[in-house]
Chain A
Amino acid sequence: MSERSAWKALAPWLAVFVLLLLAPRFLPRFQIYLTGLILTTGLLAVSLNLVLGLGGMYQFHHAVFYGIGAYTVALVITKTALSPWIGFLLAPVVSALFSLAIGLICVRLSKLYFGMLQISLGSLVWAVVFRWYSFTGGDDGIHGIPVPDIISSTDGAYYFSLILTAICLIVMQRIVNSPFGRSFQAVRDNPVRSEAVGINVKRVQLTGMVISGAFAGIAGSMFVVIEGSVFPELMFWTLSLEIIIMCLLGGWFTFLGPMLGAAIIVLLRTVVGIYTEYWTLVLGIVLMLLILFLPQGVLGYFLEIFKRGGMKAVQERK
């Protein structure tokens, strides 16, 4: 890609970033909070898609690593005398370590068996958190977590999540386009052939899981800043299912599709949730329509139209 076309591709994203940067000046507080939540959930979904879409692994219990990141921050702040920032640094590390432990056991199995075993191991972590009242607060969770002043206001929390999301997305994009990303894709498409060209498939998959878990942990730490609390539902398997739906909804063969999927689900839940508690009914209908009409996901669909339009333009010029 030439330098000029690289800038051209980058420009819209820069514009979106600047717009989001200025958002607190013209949006009311609730919407800023909501945008922060979308970014957090979106980062979580993109991190899942790293293993699900790029690596083709059935990561059925991704929320565990999100929850662990959130709890790490919460516990460092409320149970230790350490600086809260250490909690934020530890969140991805601890999530990555759990990812490694669970991955070491699961990665031996393939496809559905991998996913099923992951659900069981993840649920084990959830059960411990759910029951260990003296340490994790049990099913009550931990509330009113005092995050550092600079990020405790609505705007502060928003900027924290915006900047962190931007950095994480850039790093993840980089990983997707790295030799590792290409090899991970190759493993997804054809593990047998990958082994035959000298790729240690299990190790690639494990590395992918650890990376993805670390980013989920970062998303978890952002959640603490935005909500000021943690609770076991953060690592319950239904949330994992919801993240998978976000990926499918947005388009799991695109990098930012899951982010869009997350936005749709968070907005649906909030907006439809005002009128009825049965918002999942609407979600169900949306999902059915999507599977029937846009199997490649919302972003996948628009990218295809965009590509087709671009090709037509090229042909017309000829």
Chain B
Amino acid sequence: MLLVENLQKSFDGFIAVSDARLEVEKGEVVAVIGPNGAGKTTLFNLITGQLRADSGRLLFKGENISGMPPYGICRKGISRSFQVVNIFARLTVFENVRVSVISHNKRTFNLFSRAESIAVSETEEILKSLGFSEKSDRISGSLSHGDQKVLEMAIALGNRPELLILDEPTAGMSPEETRDTLELMKLLSRERGITILFCEHDMELVFSISNRIMVMQHGRTIIQGKPDVVRNDTHVQEAYLGGADERF
């Protein structure tokens, strides 16, 4: 479904991503792991068009998407959440999600119908599936950090993505919130058939949900494979986990 080959990106001489390779099949849950500064977020920004790659190939469902603007990539069926909370802070929770539903329904340029009566049931359904119904009238900027991270996902779901990209979905969350998020990701994958690509530092979460794991270091893909293969790979243990005896 998604194929990344030899992707490269540098900023003013600093090479953030030097050789990223990634393959995501339909229906999979794929994790990208690696130490801080390995280039995970840059990789995601390249895939969803916030950044433009210097070289390399980006194929989504066989179509070249490199160089496309973020809104174009989104319309192809890739949605994402951001690592640092990136929501519409002055709008209510409901409006946050409705904006992306309106966009998905191609009604952004509809000037004269009443927004109040548009996309209501779809938005409600998404909020309900995330257990967010009671908070729908809250101004999103006033939510707790954990709730804002969930809202991140809700906004991304408004576009009904085929591929959902989550950049550290549980960063800064409490253990309970992390568990809820994990359950949610399982649900999205199993019941809605959404393909998920995410990066995460919580190894327990990574190994409990992923079908495949890709490991990055210094902007390079070291390995991509099944969790067991990755777990036992000596390169990974040395490079990322700091020694063969450390457990995760």
A193 touching B113, Cβ below 8 Å? no
Contact of A179 among B48, B79, B118 (CB under 8 A): B118
Report Cα–Cα, A186/B92, bound state, in Å: 11
Per-position 1/0 for A195-217, Cβ under 8 A of B: 11111110110010001000000
Report Cα–Cα, A196/B115, bound state, in Å: 21
Q: B39 interface residue, CB < 8 Å from A?
A: no
A181 touching B115, Cβ below 8 Å? yes
CB under 8 Å from chain A, chain B span 50-80: 50, 69-71, 74-75, 79-80
Which residues of B are found within 8 Å of A193, using beta-carbon distances?
82, 86-88, 155
Which residues of A are found within 8 Å of B70, using beta-carbon distances?
195-196
Which residues of B are found within 8 Å of A283, using beta-carbon distances?
none
Report Cα–Cα, A115/B102, bound state, in Å: 29
Known contacts A193-B86, A198-B71: does B100 contact A178 (CB below 8 Å)? no
Which residues of A are found within 8 Å of B50, using beta-carbon distances?
192, 195-196
Report Cα–Cα, A198/B118, bound state, in Å: 17
Q: B110 interface residue, CB < 8 Å from A?
A: yes
Report Cα–Cα, A179/B112, bound state, in Å: 8
Per-position 1/0 for A162-194, Cβ under 8 A of B: 000000000000110111111101100110111
For chains A and B in complex, what number of residue pairs have CB atoms within 8 angstroms?
A: 107
Per-position 1/0 for B31-56, Cβ under 8 A of A: 00000000000000000111000000
Contact of B80 among A1, A196, A200, A201 (CB under 8 A): A196
Which residues of A are found within 8 Å of B49, using beta-carbon distances?
195
Which residues of B are found within 8 Å of A179, using beta-carbon distances?
102, 107-108, 110, 113, 115, 118-119
Known contacts A179-B108, A190-B89, A207-B109: does B155 contact A197 (CB below 8 Å)? yes
Which residues of B are found within 8 Å of A175, using beta-carbon distances?
111-112
Chain B residue with Cβ nearest A204 = B108
Interface secondary structure of A, over-half rule: helix
Which residues of B are found within 8 Å of A180, using beta-carbon distances?
108-111
Interface residues contributed by chain A, number (CB under 8 Å): 28
Which residues of B are found within 8 Å of A198, using beta-carbon distances?
71, 74-75, 100, 103-104, 159
A317 CB to nearest chain B CB (Å): 20
CB under 8 Å from chain A, chain B span 117-164: 118-119, 155-156, 158-159
Most chain B beta carbons < 10 A, residue from A1, A193, A199? A193
Per-position 1/0 for A204-245, Cβ under 8 A of B: 100100010000000000000000000000000000000000
B86 touching A178, Cβ below 8 Å? no
A26 CB to nearest chain B CB (Å): 37
Per-position 1/0 for A95-136, Cβ under 8 A of B: 000000000000000000000000000000000000000000
Report Cα–Cα, A100/B163, bound state, in Å: 36
A197 touching B99, Cβ below 8 Å? yes
B103 touching A183, Cβ below 8 Å? yes
B38 CB to nearest chain A CB (Å): 22
Q: List 9 A-B contacts (CB under 8 A).
A: A175-B112, A179-B115, A185-B88, A189-B88, A189-B91, A195-B74, A196-B71, A199-B71, A199-B99
Residues of B whose CB lies within 8 Å of any CB of A are: 48-50, 69-71, 74-75, 79-80, 82, 86-91, 95, 98-100, 102-104, 107-116, 118-119, 155-156, 158-159
Q: What 10 pairs across the A-B complex have the smallest Cβ distances?
A: A197-B100, A198-B74, A195-B70, A198-B103, A186-B99, A189-B88, A179-B110, A179-B107, A179-B102, A183-B108
